[in-house]
Amino acid sequence: MLKDKRILLIIGGGIAAYKTLELIRRLRERGAAVTPVMTGAAAEFVTPMSVSALAGEAVHQALFDLGAEAEMGHIQLSRSADLVVVVPATADLLAKMAHGLANDLASTLLLATDTPVIVAPAMNVRMWEHPATQRNLETLRADGIAFIGPNEGDMACGEYGPGRMSEPMEILAAIEARFSSGPLAGRHAIVTSGPTHEPIDPVRYIANRSSGAQGSAIAAALRDAGASVTFVTGPAAIAPPTGVKVINVETAREMEAAVSRALPADIGVFAAAVADWRVDTAQPQKLKKVKGEIPSLSFVENPDILASVSARGGNRPELVVGFAAETENVVENATQKRARKGCDWIVANDVSPDTGIMGGTDNSVVLISDAAPEYWPRMRKEEVAKRLVERIAKRFGGEKA
Ligand code: CTP
């Protein structure tokens, strides 16, 4: 997919710059040509020597470099690539891009380019949340700049929150998605998967038997069809697929927040077996056993993620697909569930213990839409995923313009 593609890699000055070394390796492995550009600050974090050794090309650093200009002028440099990737995109670099400043080589190339640009922001959480940065992001989105991340997590500066740069493999997946020619190329899909764990105390929780196999298979099939996939998964037994953006969550409420943050999307597939209830009285300390006393738990309802996404106004995905795990009257219950939750399709399955479906390798589903129910034969979960994604691709009728 990346063979012979030319990537202009602009490295900004942040601690996350070290991750670009790994990214360059992975890009080269896949046959891409990487032309590196570093800002002055980037060279404080990683050496141009390492970057050029891995890229196999000289690093471009200075705007006024007569030798380099004689070989390839900066305008030509900005336009000779198939894709411009900015990693890490610092608050300063994003601000320059949003305002059209061009006072060094990196910002000049970004202003002069007519090539699609993807940025992977990385900065301290306060800088990310600052109204100035948020204004700049809005401007850049309107200018058609594509974003990867940032992720939420521990930062090198010791704080926690959004602002952490996406991992090299996530950036690679987003770059590959740009060059994919599958029927869902250019589409963003969110997939929920796995069980949720609802804590009783720090060591005990309530869960269900979902393995995450069906959700993982769907995410992989969407990826193979060219979609860029955000995979929001509870603690599942099956590893997430590669080449998708993975967001790990534990509880239903965390899953809901992660899905919300991942919007907008063209497609939402809600395969997670979300716990309907959580323990109202979850304890911060481990419950101690007291002889003769049995603790009683009281429950409250969890948010219904599928229903709330289906009911969204502005950024409801164009196609919302839910699942229905039933143990009796599968079609009737699933049809009611589709109406109640407001989704477009329901993939209904019988999870009675004798079917071996929950936690097993096979699935036997009925697709409920506004047409007549479609009974699919029992098949492997990967096959169900492929067939569902073929249906989704048909629904979208080709690549996004
Ligand atoms: N779902 C969700 N959020 C919840 C519960 C369910 O997003 N809090 C989604 C599931 O991911 C699935 C669909 O809703 O796509 C149906 O899940 P299911 O467990 O079959 O339905 P419930 O709403 O739990 O109804 P019931 O348990 O009464 O069958």
What separation in Å is there between the alpha carbon of 78 and the centre of ligand 1? 49
For strands 6-11 and 33-38, give the pairing: parallel
**All structural domains of the chain:** 1-179 (3.40.50.1950), 183-401 (3.40.50.10300)
What separation in Å is there between the alpha carbon of 163 and the centre of ligand 1? 32
Share of the chain above pLDDT 70, in %: 97
> Is pLDDT of 242 > 80?
no
Nearest by Cα to 36 from 53, 26, 45, 19: 53
Model confidence band, residue 399 (pLDDT cutoffs 50, 70, 90):
low
Model confidence band, residue 154 (pLDDT cutoffs 50, 70, 90):
confident
Helix, strand and coil in the chain, % to nearest 5: 35, 25, 40
Query: What atom of ligand 1 comes closest to residue 303's alpha carbon?
Result: 8
**Distance between CA atoms of residues 185 and 396, nearest Å:** 11
Nearest by Cα to 297 from 282, 319, 315: 282
Query: What atom of ligand 1 comes closest to residue 306's alpha carbon?
Result: 7
Q: Which residues are CB-contacts of 394 (< 8 A; sequence separation ≥ 6)? A: none
> Is pLDDT of 209 > 90?
no
Range in 148-157, 211-220, 267-276, 335-344 with the lowest mean pLDDT: 148-157
Output the pLDDT for position 311. Answer: 97
Q: Which helix (H) or strand (E) holds 113?
A: none
> Is pLDDT of 356 > 90?
no
Residue pLDDT, tens place only, 161-173: 889 999 999 999 8
Residue 354 φ then ψ, to 5°: -70, -10
Question: Are the C-beta atoms of 10 and 37 separated by less than 8 Å?
Answer: yes
**Distance between CA atoms of residues 350 and 70, nearest Å:** 69
Question: Are the C-beta atoms of 108 and 63 separated by less than 8 Å?
Answer: yes
- What residues flank ligand 1, with Cβ below 6 Å? 192, 252, 270, 272, 274, 276, 302, 304-306, 322-325, 337
* For ligand 1, mutation pick of 277, 300, 304, 330 (most atoms within 8 Å of CB): 304
What burial class does residue 25 get, using C-beta atoms within 10 Å of its C-beta: 0-12 exposed, 13-18 middle, 19+ buried? Answer: middle
Output the pLDDT for position 67. Answer: 64
Question: Are the C-beta atoms of 154 and 129 separated by less than 8 Å?
Answer: no
Model confidence band, residue 94 (pLDDT cutoffs 50, 70, 90):
very high
Output the pLDDT for position 70. Answer: 60
**Distance between CA atoms of residues 41 and 88, nearest Å:** 11
Question: Are the C-beta atoms of 355 and 340 separated by less than 8 Å?
Answer: no
Residue pLDDT, tens place only, 46-65: 999 999 999 999 999 988 77
Hey, what amino acid is at 158?
G
Nearest by Cα to 178 from 384, 74, 30: 30
Output the pLDDT for position 358. Answer: 73
Name the pTM for this structure: 0.69
**Distance between CA atoms of residues 355 and 352, nearest Å:** 6
Model confidence band, residue 400 (pLDDT cutoffs 50, 70, 90):
low
Active site residue 157: yes
Hey, what amino acid is at 176?
E
Mean pLDDT value across residues 349-370: 85
Model confidence band, residue 72 (pLDDT cutoffs 50, 70, 90):
low
**Distance between CA atoms of residues 353 and 357, nearest Å:** 8
What separation in Å is there between the alpha carbon of 196 and the centre of ligand 1? 12
Other C-beta atoms lying within 10 Å of the C-beta of residue 360: 14
What separation in Å is there between the alpha carbon of 223 and the centre of ligand 1? 24
Output the pLDDT for position 157. Answer: 77
Model confidence band, residue 141 (pLDDT cutoffs 50, 70, 90):
confident
Catalytic residue among 72, 157, 297, 311: 157
Q: Which helix (H) or strand (E) holds 288?
A: none
